[in-house]
Amino acid sequence: MSSPDSPAAGGDVLAALGAHRIVPVVVVEGAADGARLADALVAGGLPVAEITLRTAGGVEAIRAVVAAQPDVVVGAGTVTRADQVDAVADAGARYVVSPGLSRAVVERCAEHGLPVLPGVASPTEIMAALDLGIDVVKLFPASVVGGPAAIKAFSAPFPGLRFVPTGGVNAGNLGEYLGLAPVLAVGGSWMVDKKLVDAGDWAEITRRTAEAVALAHPESKES
């Protein structure tokens, strides 16, 4: 099995997530809202979306955004079963995120050449992920398992492991996470709150997205 970081397994996608530094965790009901949301994210300067399978329309939303916005780095979130990996690969997802660590999900992603960010919340789960060849994990739920302090503590025995903390991340604390060297990017739903999506408040989504991008890239603001 190739390393998930190798170009063949989508290392370029992980590099893109690391460059953007934020992965919006999206819940939409279907294709139309998915496409509008992608437009709002792009307008805010963040062409990245993790579209979750928490709604029946999640897979179709992925397919719609891939078709309408080929420059958006579209991933599938809340993937818990191998058959869902097949569905999101068919829809064009470029990476997979899971709330926990499933060998079946990780192996099916490898078959499709899709990078996968499995969720971990303990050293034992990290070791299981490393055994499967994973070197970037989603720390979930980050705020519950200890926040930035947990990342510092987990990094000591696992040098080289990179984290995408998700769960409780927001505009007020993303800087603390992104200031840690092992953090590749942060994930979160605050800028794409489902209430805003349901209300069609794309302008507020764009505003929150632009704010998050500015916070994640303070160096570009100074220049």
Structure tokens at 223: 């220049």
Q: Which of 50, 195, 219, 221 is catalytic?
A: 50
Q: Does 41 bind ligand 3PG (CB under 6 A)?
A: no
Quote the DSSP letter at residue 166.
B
Q: Does 188 bind ligand 3PG (CB under 6 A)?
A: yes
Of these, 105, 169, 183, 216, which contacts ligand 3PG (CB under 6 A)?
A: 169
* Active-site residue, 50 included: yes
Of these, 55, 69, 166, 209, which contacts ligand 3PG (CB under 6 A)?
A: 166
Closest distance of CB 59 from ligand 3PG, Å: 17
CB 20 within 8 A of CB 46: yes
Task: Cite the DSSP H helix spans in the chain.
Answer: 11-20, 31-43, 58-68, 82-91, 103-112, 123-131, 147-155, 174-178, 194-199, 202-216, 218-222
CA-to-CA separations, 100 to 66, 141, 142, 194, in angstroms, rounded:
25, 10, 12, 22
Q: In this complex, which beta carbon is closest to ligand 3PG, that of residue 159 or of residue 172? A: 172
Binding pattern to ligand 3PG, positions 84-103, x when CB under 6 A?
---------------x----
Contacts with ligand 3PG by CB under 6 A lie at 25, 99, 166-169, 187-190
